[in-house]
Structure 1
């Protein structure tokens, strides 16, 4: 179908804008706040920039990067590049430096227009030109309609960015087209909302300029805040807005009364938005078009109530649309076909990729006119009776495996590239561990060789879990692969053959049975590697739980990670101790785990931590939701998961759990408050603290965002919920919702409760606690007390727990290289990311020996596999860096450290802190200030019957550590994020650290044997400078008594304090100069001592006073002074000496003097 004809001028965009400047030089071209750039000044400054670019050798059809903040200078830069005859490449200054370097390298740029101070780090030796303030006479652009106007990068199915090249003819035609149907004129004031890296900027920035309109440039703050958006539109009399579909539901149309036209596009728009925005007479236009076809090829205008999906409209003027089948034959009305677009708006092709250009931009078979082309969009649609198009999704064969988006065709292509493979077909099937890939391969190779080949070239999730080899693939009568016959193997097919030696012992045979069920692999040899045969972290945990049941032994996840092969896992299983029964507390009140005790203490005595340990997640639900059924389902989940009915009060400073009886779970249904967007609402909910003593420690709410659209938000305290729990919660909720609707059985009770877990853990710990604690104390002795980066901010006197975030992402090629490197070393990608992180921290601090914490999961018993709760402990890893060694060696060392931590799980970090006497810190987390957390579980998915769902991000409510690096692989790409405390470190510093981690990962994976000191960027900050730790905390170190005679408590107050200490800590005596934390005091003991001293002395002693005055003598002096209403004398001389030593980077871990029987019973034995 063809759109109507619309003439357009034979001029490039800069000349069109220059024409307006000649006719109306004082007319406002760009407005932002109090800044106004007239057409005369815009064209004059663009002309000056063009002259500068030409002086630097820029010629027509060259590409120039534009990396300018969102100010009017940005528009000058875009127009100036085109006025020089070149095409611009948009580079967002907010991107990490490494990403900017990659894009500039992909585009082969030599010159960048940007802010020199911001661009120097990102672009290295490239020429960086600023935006001139002066003007110059206008010179007609040397460009023609066939030269490049811009090149814009989009993501590709392989993860590599694709640069779509758009010529001036396409741009001029499109801005004319948009201005025509949007009625742009000199009186129009259009809000420019889109990033210049998004092709919607053609509609809201370039098209208005071509029409002589005024562009109201929204700043970054206004783009993130609806209130700011309303204010800008009102103050600047905006009458046209171009907004992406996700923004529309967040805005109130009544607060934009001056807007006459709302334009949207880029993805599907909810049908309810038509009625919302056209009420009162506004126009509502939705456009469709890929970047490769310059913004739009079809458009739709609607009004009034709309309930069915919004069509993508009819062909735009000068454009034509064809729907075709796989053989490029047009399909009939109502039939589904791929969208092919043609017309003058088509781009030239892909930058430096002629093969992909030829594949996607094809000769038009439906016309006799020579040179006409069509672009294959890869989108599916069908014609509706009124001649408009209904969008039906992508033609790509994409599936999700373990949360990662996988192109089946890419996996097939990799297999077919092997010289000994004749053909291959890859399908997604349901398996014992969820959705998995199954490959059918025509080859004489064995499966192990094929799997190893795929592992070298594909992300781990894209390596088929099962592979079948055969002489030839079955084909249909039309010559295509017969996937139905592949999906249903016949009984005549040969039975699977065993690879290698058969299992030899009873243990090996039992493990082989569990393995066979879990990985659907009936024949397992003794030397088969669990991870090479499709296993991953989730299946490893399931294998551990199964083996504990089958073998009755205390098998842990590290036994699978270290053992790896059937033979190796069996040997470790035989050496494991007998497993203790999990369910042991029937009828007894539950105790708290050591980790829960720690969270209670922080919540009780550090008010800034009140919401830092909240967990929040949300899911957008689309479709006919039964709200009453959802509320009933939530109630059923709380009934099954006992910990969701816990409260944590205390008596005299000792916390305990109370389990409330099952009751209805409230599910408030809310509308967003005027001026509040969804992200802000969710962030506020996440930051609302729980009162542990009186509140149920989780809550849910439903936010109505449309007629058939809601967002379910769940907030919980970490004491009852960890990251793994979200998937379990979703699974229970989905099953309960189906049951309430009458389509399933009610949720069965769990075999155990979280209280059972705490008791089971305490019983298990009793047998290994001292052994594991001694290992940690030996292992960490001599390590630095703090990790503090130079260039940070003045640290607050007390930890604030504030949070901010910076994020980056590795492309699929780099992620695959990293995964391949780790696999070759017998490790996981987590070890590689940890190694890179540690290297960057070592380089920045100048200290090659660091302590970095990492969470460990304790779900090793089958009874706890499906239980919501807090099963996390923090392991303080010790990472030693050697710049002369290669990256591979550091990955291997990081992996060994992770395995060692898993092998010694029975010493809670609180006991390790106490063992070194580090508990008396107020301004930072003791021992662990830096955390590393690599997510290994699947992306949680909520599957409520009859509803669509997608996750909605929720901002972290706080940062328990100075900085935490998170890593997760999704869609074959490694996403790395740093959550940090902005009161300690600035955003620019953290962005630089993140960029260096990314650079280390790329460089290390590319050349793993090269000494890291010779990798790119290593020498930027010299290592080994002991003075780099410039603002260390007042760290209390266990100095011991060095043989000196202890000074006994002398005054009445000192003797009373010493008596309480001895009673609480179980020690026979304490000296007047002993530190509470050196003689075994921990966080809970602090709370008990505070209560007892207040009762005994009639004082108003605070917990914080024990941290500030940790010895008997200094505390007695503080109390006596307080009684006399005088000011405290401050910190002791010993404190000052230790602080000075810490500033020199000299404080290192030494054991504290511990009482003979270990920690106080209330911490050691919560059962």
Structure 2
């Protein structure tokens, strides 16, 4: 996944700081107590030190040690070394002399800048220079962006320190990056808390200086005493603090009222800290990044109550992250992989250690650009459904307990979630029964209470055998937990024995099994989970098997197969694995989902605006309208799909990309009496003509002297929900460039046409496998869901919309989130479970289909691409009110995972597979949708302007009803958008109330049978809704048995001949239904044309729907052929006729044109 693009200056840090000194010489750069160092004095003294260093022979790319007490002289020393062209090596004076000597020797230092309190004898023969008090005229640094900025030592697994070399380009990019998402500026006053030997000093010391802000340097006394820290922050007006996670629980946020931003990182942060520190609107940002990547590769901003482990967020601007298995192949969503980080923030390598550098800094296999590298962090993570990363600890922090592999970081995360736990560290030790877990917990709780808490949330092997409680955990000088004072790792437990596997595949799986579980898998019927496997090890097993077998193994193959024999059988049936990146330069082409939207737009007039997307932002401030128009044009130039049209030839749609051209931006003023909401709703409902219109438009509405509303309307075919954030990011960059304050938008690495080709290649390898899975999975489920109490359904589907909304309070939202996290799921699974239970209760049927959108942005090439990457997955939810709510949440989560694991069966293929093409009054197979927004709220950040979103009413409802969920500011907001011609507002309000009530009751008592929860009552007999027609796979071409009723009359034989020709099948029976043997609306139109030409009749499309078998259609034709006139039409006939006629296309031509996708034989949904 790639972060957004962010321009950064081509200057080294000393020159950036010198620029502020020239513009604002008297502005405070560093303050400590009564001492204030202005930018002029800071740069002047640094220049004097640089001259002294050059006089001692220091040249660009040399290294100079800095061993200065925490006083303003420290900042002078750091900047002075870089001003001389050298890189600094931080040497904390608090370290023991022996450690200082070792670091000095490792760095091969000849010169050290040291304060008088730093004992010179600690460094042997090394030259020690003081920090000059005098100033000198500034001279630009001789350093370049490719020379060393600093070398920072980190601990190694062998105990030998590693020196990570960071160049100026990485440093400049990183301070710019941090300043951007933290809003550092000239008014910023940031507390510098970190030791200079800790890379957090880049964020709290160097980044504020690069932005022209003020560094409030915390002395050793303030760093050790919270009371003094509060006083310093209050007296100096500190508004930003960067603190290590172990410090956060020790401080009272209420004592720091002026702080607007808390930044943390370096290790796992307790989730309760989010709520503590964001109370009152304060921002809370957790950053992730190794020293080797200049402190930052991803970041996460949280707010409100947070109970599950804090993610490490999404890639930072200009950076990319890949999760890979041991063979450097990218793992799928939800699977565990090692974090590989890339981008301009990567360091040069390790100091004087070419072998280690080559091992950890590797060529980037995921990009064609030469010279690109990735850093192997050794950290394990997985992609969450919302696109963020969940950190799972170090690869070398996995241990084996009683046959089960345990990730120590996960156990620590569970302990830290307890509201009365300040911090926790879990290590492996040796006990009477072999290896066991030992927990060290900062808490006042009893050990028995802690053990009971862990037993509720962890498997037995992961519950620490020994626990020690204390007031606080010891931390190192860098703010990390001092593990050397805890317990050492012990020897592994012996492995059990079993029976040998039988096939080559089983033996390969056994090898992977043995590595993961640290025991030989010798019994082909041994259960993976009985031997210590669980969801995480299953994901790792899947990644390993993909590498070993070269096949697209899915998590379900382990979940369902379980044994060596079962997993091997599923693996042998899996498709071969394919490439993870796209070929480039393919022409525009339509995806299956876009073809479905085109069909609905073309043949269902009412759907024309139902698939529009609309959003708006209120912009306050001095807006440059010409620059905004230029920026919109630049975005459309970068995002090719925003220049698309979708015309067709003889009913076959295709994509055309128009050349770049100025994007119109009309500036409007509302007519007197017109409400903004009404105007936006009207704009959202205005249809696009797909063949001739550019499929998006923008307008600017002037609402005040310095206030405008930017409205954007787009067709779903070119714009999905994820695209809004990408569009905003591009627009912000392009607007800054249009103002002359930044570089232009770079081109994307691929186009949507490349995505379609990549998707088609993947589909060719596994489409049939996924289709077979879905057809089997859904067989027997009712395909029509209609609630009781609804209105008379129109004969032809309409797409009008209305909405009802509710919002859960923070406590209920937190309880829901906590329940889901404890079950290893997400809040989406809990909301889906409640929704399905309520629908089952109202319809009286426990087996339902609920659709959900899935996002197909799996390849890095498409991460920043605007477009339509959505498919609808028909989830099968089976309800059992006698089971607890927790069990339904687990089942919903497993169904969501299963859908992600089988992406190659577009819903239109399932409609065809089940022969559901004859429905005109509703969406086939899926009439109810569930959509939980898991991405962050899109934010538009135009330079010099304040922005806030303006709500826009949905222009239509593509389904009978859709339940939307989103969590913002600690509140879960749930909305039902419905078709008011099918259901009334009172019914939908009651339905939504039942969902909310079940969410509250189910989270309060998740193990109580749902039927016994408060408010759960059975619907009275006789009132269930319409849940009918179990899904059955249509008869395959080439039946095994003989046809018993062959076409008998001349008309029957002619009809059968046309059907065989159109559907590509050898024979049909007189009693076969057209829709049961593969016919859909595309094919119906072709049949109508061919029969009219062959028989000389005036056959209407509605006749084919009303007489779907060969025999009934022949009887109808024979009775009407003499007159050659159509009978009088009823209103219902006319409606069906109109809808059917709009489906008149030539199917054979479509199949020839859509060569990149399997033929779509059923109804597009």
Calculate the TM-score normalised by the size of structure 1.
0.51
Matching residue of 1:615: 613
Contact residue 342 and residue 374 of structure 1 kept, 8 A: yes
Deviation at 1:848, TM superposition (A): 1.1
Contact residue 1082 and residue 1143 of structure 2 kept, 8 A: no
- More divergent stretch after superposition (383-392 vs 119-128): 119-128
Q: Deviations over 1:1062-1095 (max 9, x none)?
A: 3332112334543332121234434555566677
Q: Deviations over 1:872-897 (max 9, x none)?
A: 11111111111111111111111122
Paired with 1:353 and 1:119, the residues of 2 have a C-alpha distance of 29
Contact residue 400 and residue 493 of structure 2 kept, 8 A: no
Do the aligned partners of residues 546 and 1057 (structure 1) sit closer, same or farther apart at CA in structure 2, a change above 3 Å counting? Answer: same
- More divergent stretch after superposition (1048-1057 vs 1126-1135): 1126-1135
Matching residue of 1:797: 795
Contact residue 911 and residue 1162 of structure 2 kept, 8 A: no
Partner of 2:332: helix, strand, or coil? coil
Deviation at 1:31, TM superposition (A): 65
Deviation at 1:190, TM superposition (A): 51
Do the aligned partners of residues 987 and 386 (structure 1) sit closer, same or farther apart at CA in structure 2, a change above 3 Å counting? Answer: closer
Contact residue 459 and residue 819 of structure 1 kept, 8 A: no
Contact residue 1082 and residue 1147 of structure 2 kept, 8 A: no
Contact residue 64 and residue 109 of structure 2 kept, 8 A: yes
Deviation at 1:932, TM superposition (A): 1.0
Partner of 2:396: helix, strand, or coil? coil
Partner of 1:495: helix, strand, or coil? coil
Contact residue 1079 and residue 1153 of structure 1 kept, 8 A: no
Q: Deviations over 1:236-269 (max 9, x none)?
A: 9999999999999999999999999999999999
Partner of 1:1026: helix, strand, or coil? coil
Paired with 2:721 and 2:359, the residues of 1 have a C-alpha distance of 43
Contact residue 1002 and residue 1010 of structure 2 kept, 8 A: yes
Do the aligned partners of residues 1126 and 520 (structure 1) sit closer, same or farther apart at CA in structure 2, a change above 3 Å counting? Answer: farther
| Structure 1 counterpart of 2:1141, from 1140, 1143, 1165 | 1143
Matching residue of 2:513: 515
Contact residue 18 and residue 43 of structure 1 kept, 8 A: yes
- More divergent stretch after superposition (422-431 vs 974-983): 422-431
Matching residue of 1:868: 866
Do the aligned partners of residues 876 and 149 (structure 1) sit closer, same or farther apart at CA in structure 2, a change above 3 Å counting? Answer: same
Deviation at 1:987, TM superposition (A): 0.2
Q: Deviations over 1:785-832 (max 9, x none)?
A: 211111111111111111110011111111111111112221111111
- More divergent stretch after superposition (142-151 vs 313-322): 142-151
Paired with 1:784 and 1:593, the residues of 2 have a C-alpha distance of 28
Contact residue 780 and residue 1149 of structure 1 kept, 8 A: no
Paired with 2:1024 and 2:819, the residues of 1 have a C-alpha distance of 33
Deviation at 1:673, TM superposition (A): 2.2
- More divergent stretch after superposition (664-673 vs 551-560): 551-560
Do the aligned partners of residues 1133 and 1077 (structure 1) sit closer, same or farther apart at CA in structure 2, a change above 3 Å counting? Answer: farther
Paired with 1:1162 and 1:705, the residues of 2 have a C-alpha distance of 48
- More divergent stretch after superposition (284-293 vs 863-872): 284-293
Contact residue 86 and residue 149 of structure 2 kept, 8 A: yes
Deviation at 1:421, TM superposition (A): 5.8
Paired with 1:98 and 1:125, the residues of 2 have a C-alpha distance of 14
Q: Deviations over 1:89-135 (max 9, x none)?
A: 99999999999999999999999999999999999999999999999
Do the aligned partners of residues 912 and 552 (structure 1) sit closer, same or farther apart at CA in structure 2, a change above 3 Å counting? Answer: same
Q: Deviations over 1:681-700 (max 9, x none)?
A: 11111111111111111111
Paired with 1:700 and 1:43, the residues of 2 have a C-alpha distance of 47
- More divergent stretch after superposition (450-459 vs 36-45): 36-45
Q: Deviations over 1:978-1005 (max 9, x none)?
A: 1111001100000000000111111111
Unaligned runs of 5+ in 1: none
- More divergent stretch after superposition (1126-1135 vs 315-324): 315-324
Q: Deviations over 1:627-682 (max 9, x none)?
A: 11111111111122121122112222221112212211111111112221111111
Paired with 2:319 and 2:757, the residues of 1 have a C-alpha distance of 71
Deviation at 1:1111, TM superposition (A): 3.9
Partner of 1:853: helix, strand, or coil? strand
- More divergent stretch after superposition (37-46 vs 1034-1043): 37-46
Paired with 2:651 and 2:1147, the residues of 1 have a C-alpha distance of 29
Partner of 1:975: helix, strand, or coil? strand
Matching residue of 1:660: 658
Matching residue of 1:130: 130
Partner of 2:231: helix, strand, or coil? helix
Size of the aligned set, in residue pairs, is 1164
- More divergent stretch after superposition (814-823 vs 1054-1063): 1054-1063
Deviation at 1:708, TM superposition (A): 1.2
Do the aligned partners of residues 895 and 67 (structure 1) sit closer, same or farther apart at CA in structure 2, a change above 3 Å counting? Answer: farther
Deviation at 1:940, TM superposition (A): 0.9
Contact residue 24 and residue 39 of structure 2 kept, 8 A: yes
Contact residue 67 and residue 119 of structure 1 kept, 8 A: no
| Structure 2 counterpart of 1:681, from 679, 698, 702 | 679
Contact residue 392 and residue 410 of structure 2 kept, 8 A: no
Contact residue 191 and residue 215 of structure 2 kept, 8 A: yes
Contact residue 1036 and residue 1077 of structure 2 kept, 8 A: no
Partner of 2:1034: helix, strand, or coil? coil
Deviation at 1:735, TM superposition (A): 1.5
Q: Kindly indicate whether residue 359 of structure 2 is the aligned counterpart of residue 346 of structure 1.
A: no
- More divergent stretch after superposition (560-569 vs 199-208): 199-208
Paired with 1:324 and 1:863, the residues of 2 have a C-alpha distance of 16
Unaligned runs of 5+ in 2: none
Paired with 2:120 and 2:891, the residues of 1 have a C-alpha distance of 35
Calculate the TM-score normalised by the size of structure 2.
0.51
Contact residue 784 and residue 1148 of structure 1 kept, 8 A: no
Deviation at 1:402, TM superposition (A): 38
Contact residue 728 and residue 868 of structure 1 kept, 8 A: yes
Contact residue 854 and residue 873 of structure 2 kept, 8 A: yes
Do the aligned partners of residues 261 and 1086 (structure 1) sit closer, same or farther apart at CA in structure 2, a change above 3 Å counting? Answer: same
Paired with 2:246 and 2:848, the residues of 1 have a C-alpha distance of 43
Matches within 5 A, 1:695-714: 695-714=693-712
Deviation at 1:40, TM superposition (A): 77
Paired with 1:188 and 1:716, the residues of 2 have a C-alpha distance of 39
Contact residue 848 and residue 1024 of structure 1 kept, 8 A: no
Deviation at 1:17, TM superposition (A): 68
- More divergent stretch after superposition (979-988 vs 247-256): 247-256
Paired with 1:771 and 1:944, the residues of 2 have a C-alpha distance of 47
Do the aligned partners of residues 816 and 280 (structure 1) sit closer, same or farther apart at CA in structure 2, a change above 3 Å counting? Answer: closer
Partner of 1:726: helix, strand, or coil? helix
Paired with 1:306 and 1:452, the residues of 2 have a C-alpha distance of 22
Q: Deviations over 1:275-294 (max 9, x none)?
A: 99999999999999999999
Deviation at 1:328, TM superposition (A): 59
Do the aligned partners of residues 667 and 795 (structure 1) sit closer, same or farther apart at CA in structure 2, a change above 3 Å counting? Answer: same
Over the aligned positions, Cα root-mean-square deviation in angstroms equals 25.3
Paired with 1:891 and 1:522, the residues of 2 have a C-alpha distance of 34
Contact residue 638 and residue 645 of structure 1 kept, 8 A: yes
- More divergent stretch after superposition (476-485 vs 254-263): 254-263
Do the aligned partners of residues 362 and 287 (structure 1) sit closer, same or farther apart at CA in structure 2, a change above 3 Å counting? Answer: same
Contact residue 538 and residue 936 of structure 1 kept, 8 A: no
